[in-house]
């Protein structure tokens, strides 16, 4: 009897062990190493508000179509974006995808912060974007990401304020710009409370890009033909900085109304939205902010080409682009590239991509050729964006060179020194030239 009991117990133990082993294997999967772990793709960008919420909807759509993959969006103010990228490189625990300004590309490549696109994705990018756009994401024949947006600059003006001043159309020349700015300004107790023309300070690109648009429309340029030396310390450059000084002296421009913050918002934007600035040179991407803040008063806003200076022959805007790049330290590089291809690919033949639709909803020009084709009608009918689209024909790309960020800051500081009465124009241009040339020789 004891033998039978012992035998039964042995059989039960074997059965239980087998069941336990089977259940354990089921939990682990055929390789016995556990169920496939969820991959998390982290994206770092500088968007905010409604733009973030709209993007999260695209993320949810991707996650539904790709079980086992999660996408996490992290955002910081624009002014902190490059700092965050740099610190993540040092910690080697950064996001998998960076959304970067094309001007930073040489520095990020040089520091091995980002990786070139694998061949399959490189071919997709080169086939899907015009050569000048894919070139803006390339260094030495290697493509470093998916281009996203184009940003150009144009004159923005308030039609209601123009009408009140008896001005029928936007200025085409600097002479008209100065005349209109004076007529559009209001001074109370010696202080400009409504400025005819506004500028931006405390934000490097916000200072330099409008200045460069005026410089180019006056026949000048930031760098020489092969991007090896500064070219703005010239007659054309002197005339450009003198334009600012004359407007300030005439109380048609108030530097106190010009400052920006790390999120690229602030007094310069508030004063335009509150209709205290009649004209300003600004990028197309702020259309969404103007619409949401101004409400019905947004209908008072119009755009026009950059006025032509005394030494210029045609209006010439400046443009730059952005791109998604993959972190060189990412352990999810393949998944990151797959996500980027998905979000930048047309949803169907003849349709734009999810990225393109998201950009256009913010007043941002998509860079992908198929997005531009699919959006042609909408862009042509948008009186705000139409000017920017047309400006691209004569626009020049902000130079993609090593130290582009340092170059921008160097010129920013010297322009601001003149604006705030801390330096003479000639001295400021000479100092900026020396600093820029020093950066280019590194």
Name the one residue in this structure whose structure tokens are 């082993």.
Answer: 21
Number of Cβ within a 10 Å radius of residue 80: 14
Rounded to whole angstroms, the Cα distance separating 114 from 359 reads 23
What pLDDT score does 10 carry?
37
> Angle at CA 280, nearest 5°, toward 286 and 179?
160
Structure tokens at 97: 């995808």
| Residue 346: DSSP 8-state | B
Q: Are strands 39-45 and 97-101 parallel, antiparallel or unpaired?
A: parallel
Q: Alpha helices, DSSP H only, in 92-234?
A: 105-110, 119-128, 131-135, 159-164, 174-183, 204-216
Evaluate whether 243 touches 306 at the Cβ level (below 8 Å). Answer: no
For residue 172, what are its two tokens?
Answer: 């085409």
Q: Is 179 helix (H, G, I), strand (E, B) or coil?
A: helix
What the block records as the tokens of 14 is: 């074997």
CA atoms within 13 A on the CB side of 327: 26
**Cα of 349 vs its chain's centroid, Å:** 27
Residues in the chain: 442
How far apart CA 134 and CA 230 sit, in angstroms, is 25
Q: How far apart are CA 218 and CA 419, in angstroms?
A: 19
Q: In sequence order, which ranges of 250-382 are alpha helices (DSSP H)?
A: 267-273, 287-294, 333-344, 354-361, 369-374, 376-381
| Cα separation values, 178 from 77, 129, 162, 233, Å | 34, 40, 14, 22
Phi, psi of 154 (to 5 degrees): -150, 165
Nearest to 128 by CA among 323, 344, 337: 344
Q: Give first-to-last CA distance, the chain, whole Å.
A: 93
Taking CA atoms, 41 is separated from 54, 326, 329, in Å, by 18, 10, 13
Domains of the chain: 39-150+319-391 (3.40.190.10), 152-318+396-440 (3.40.190.10)
* Helix, strand and coil in the chain, % to nearest 5: 50, 20, 30
> Are 333 and 94 in contact, with CB atoms under 8 Å apart?
no
Put residue 395 in one of left, alpha, beta given phi > 0 → left and psi -120 to 50 → alpha.
beta
* Predicted pLDDT of residue 9: 35
- C-alpha span between 170 and 152 (Å, rounded): 18
Tens digits of per-residue pLDDT, 290-322?
999 999 999 999 999 999 999 999 999 999 999
Contact 252, 195 (CB under 8 A): yes
The list of the chain residues with pLDDT below 70 reads 1-36
CA distance 75 to 415: 30
CA distance 302 to 283: 13
And the tokens for 250?
Answer: 């005439």
Classified as helix, coil or strand, 398 is coil
Tell me which residue of 105, 93, 91 sits closest to 324, measured CA to CA.
105
pTM: 0.84
DSSP string covering 419-440, please? HTTSS-HHHHHHHHHHHHHHHH
Count of CA atoms in the C-beta half-sphere (13 A) of 47:
22
Q: How many CB atoms lie within 10 A of CB 190?
A: 6
Partners of 195 in the β-ladder:
277
Q: What confidence score (pLDDT) does residue 36 get?
A: 59
Kindly give the pairing relationship between strand 301-304 and strand 186-188. unpaired
């Amino acid at each position: 009897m004891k033998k039978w009991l012992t035998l039964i117990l042995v059989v039960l133990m074997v059965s239980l062990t087998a069941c336990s082993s089977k259940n354990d294997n089921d939990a682990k999967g055929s390789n016995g190493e556990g169920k496939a772990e969820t991959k998390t793709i982290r994206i770092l960008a500088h968007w905010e508000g409604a733009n973030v919420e709209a993007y999260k909807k695209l993320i949810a759509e991707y996650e539904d179509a790709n079980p086992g993959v999660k996408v996490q969006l992290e955002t910081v103010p624009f002014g902190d974006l490059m700092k965050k990228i740099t610190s993540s490189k040092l910690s080697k625990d950064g996001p998998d995808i960076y959304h970067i300004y094309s001007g930073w590309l040489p520095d990020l490549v040089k520091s091995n912060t980002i990786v070139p696109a694998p061949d399959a994705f490189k071919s997709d990018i080169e086939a899907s974007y015009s050569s000048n756009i894919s070139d803006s994401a390339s260094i030495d024949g290697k493509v470093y990401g998916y281009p996203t947006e184009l940003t150009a600059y144009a004159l923005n003006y308030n039609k209601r304020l123009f009408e009140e001043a008896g001005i029928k159309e936007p200025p085409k020349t600097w002479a008209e710009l100065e005349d209109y700015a004076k007529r559009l300004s209001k001074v109370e107790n010696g202080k400009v409370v409504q400025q005819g023309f506004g500028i931006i300070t405390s934000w490097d690109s916000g200072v330099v890009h409008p200045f460069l648009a005026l410089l180019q429309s006056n026949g000048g340029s930031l760098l020489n033909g092969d991007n090896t030396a500064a070219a703005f310390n010239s007659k054309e450059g002197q005339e450009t900085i003198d334009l600012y000084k004359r407007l300030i002296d005439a109380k048609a421009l108030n530097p106190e109304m010009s400052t920006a913050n790390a999120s690229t918002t602030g007094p310069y934007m508030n004063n335009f939205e509150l209709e205290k600035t009649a004209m300003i040179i600004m990028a197309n991407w702020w259309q969404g902010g103007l619409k949401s803040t101004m409400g019905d008063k947004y209908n008072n806003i119009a755009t026009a080409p950059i006025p032509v200076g005394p030494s210029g022959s045609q209006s010439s805007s400046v443009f730059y682009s952005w791109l998604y790049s993959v972190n060189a330290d990412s352990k999810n590089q393949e998944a990151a590239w797959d996500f980027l291809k998905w979000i930048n690919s047309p949803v169907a033949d003849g349709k734009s991509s999810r990225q393109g639709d998201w950009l256009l909803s913010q007043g941002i020009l998509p860079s992908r050729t198929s997005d531009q084709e699919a959006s042609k009608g909408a862009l042509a009918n948008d009186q705000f964006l139409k000017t920017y689209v047309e400006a691209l024909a004569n626009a020049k790309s902000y130079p993609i060179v090593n130290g582009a960020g340092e170059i921008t800051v160097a010129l920013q500081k010297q322009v601001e020194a003149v604006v705030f009465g801390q330096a003479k124009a000639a001295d400021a241009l000479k100092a900026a030239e020396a600093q820029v040339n020093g950066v280019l020789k590194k």
